[in-house]
């Protein structure tokens, strides 16, 4: 084979390989065309309300937790939202009209008294509003590490024992009279 034929064969092979490699993209969808959640948490859309990047931060099963995320109220009125986990007392939060604030902005923390699962699992969160009714969303439970360290749940306050009346410290004070055993002098 001549030098010219070898060069032509090499160029043809390179051109064919480039054509085949570029043709692979024809059968693959562009990844950015597919919707996805670019965050740790879950999203929920309700009438007039969007909840984004919902995450429960907790240290262990049965321990207190904190709900983290963002709420976007697209309506002209404030919305009362109730959040609840299985086995925990529901918590209510108010979201002002036309806002898109984080759930924990302004010092208000959405504390959950008990998280039913350990970090690394998924829990079912019930979200209730007057307009949207009850909706459920699967939410990850994450440990209070890295950028969730600031949301570490504080332990619940322990109830102090109530004061009980104490017995009198003075002997004989308010004590009932004791019967005396004196010998009988009948005779």
What's the distance, CA 166 to chain centroid? 45
What pLDDT is recorded for position 167?
Answer: 47
Percent residues over pLDDT 70 in the chain: 73
Over the chain, what is the mean pLDDT?
79
- Does residue 168 surpass a pLDDT of 50? no
Instruction: Say if CB 83 and CB 46 are below 8 A apart.
Output: no
Instruction: Give the whole-angstrom CA distance, residue 19 versus residue 179.
Output: 116
> Residue 92: is its pLDDT beyond 60?
yes
What is the rounded CA–CA span in Å between residue 177 and residue 156? 49
**Domains plus CATH for the chain?**
42-145 (2.60.40)
Among the listed residues 52, 50, 46, 67, the one whose alpha carbon sits nearest the alpha carbon of residue 123: 67
> What is residue 80's predicted lDDT score, i.e. its pLDDT?
92
The model's pLDDT over 99-154, given as tens digits with 9 standing for 90+, comes to 888 877 766 678 888 889 999 999 999 999 988 889 999 999 999 888 888 877 77
Euclidean distance between CA atoms 76 and 96, whole angstroms: 9
Given this model, what pLDDT does residue 158 score? 58
pLDDT digits (tens, 9 = 90+) for 6-41: 888 888 888 878 777 776 666 676 767 766 666 788
Classify strands 110-112 and 42-46 as parallel, antiparallel or unpaired. unpaired
Read off the pLDDT band of 176 (50, 70, 90). low
What is the pTM (predicted TM-score) of this model? 0.63
Which of residues 75 and 154 earns the better pLDDT score? 75
* 78 vs 161, residue with greater confidence: 78
CA distance 160 to 58: 25
Ranges assigned E (strand) in the chain: 42-46, 49-58, 65-73, 79-85, 91-95, 99-102, 110-112, 122-129, 133-142
Residue with the bigger pLDDT between 168 and 66: it is 66
**CA distances from residue 107 to 57, 142, 148, 169 in whole angstroms, order as listed:** 16, 21, 15, 49
């Amino acid at each position: 084979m001549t030098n010219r034929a070898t060069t032509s064969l090499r160029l043809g092979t390179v051109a064919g390989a480039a054509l085949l490699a570029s043709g692979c993209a024809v059968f693959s969808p562009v990844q950015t065309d597919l919707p996805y959640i670019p965050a740790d948490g879950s999203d929920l859309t309700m009438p007039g309300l969007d909840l984004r990047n919902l995450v429960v931060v907790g240290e262990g099963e049965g321990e207190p937790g904190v709900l983290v995320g963002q709420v976007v109220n697209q309506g002209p009125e404030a919305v009362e939202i109730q959040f609840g986990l299985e086995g925990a007392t529901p918590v209510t939060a108010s979201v002002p009209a036309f806002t898109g604030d984080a759930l924990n902005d302004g010092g208000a923390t959405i504390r959950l008294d008990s998280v039913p699962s350990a970090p690394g699992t998924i829990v079912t969160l019930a979200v209730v509003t007057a307009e949207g009714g009850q909706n459920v969303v699967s939410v990850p439970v994450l440990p209070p590490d890295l950028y969730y360290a600031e949301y570490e749940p504080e332990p619940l306050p322990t109830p102090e024992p109530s004061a009980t009346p104490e017995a009198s410290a003075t002997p004989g004070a308010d004590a009932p009279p004791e019967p005396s055993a004196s010998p009988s002098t009948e005779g």
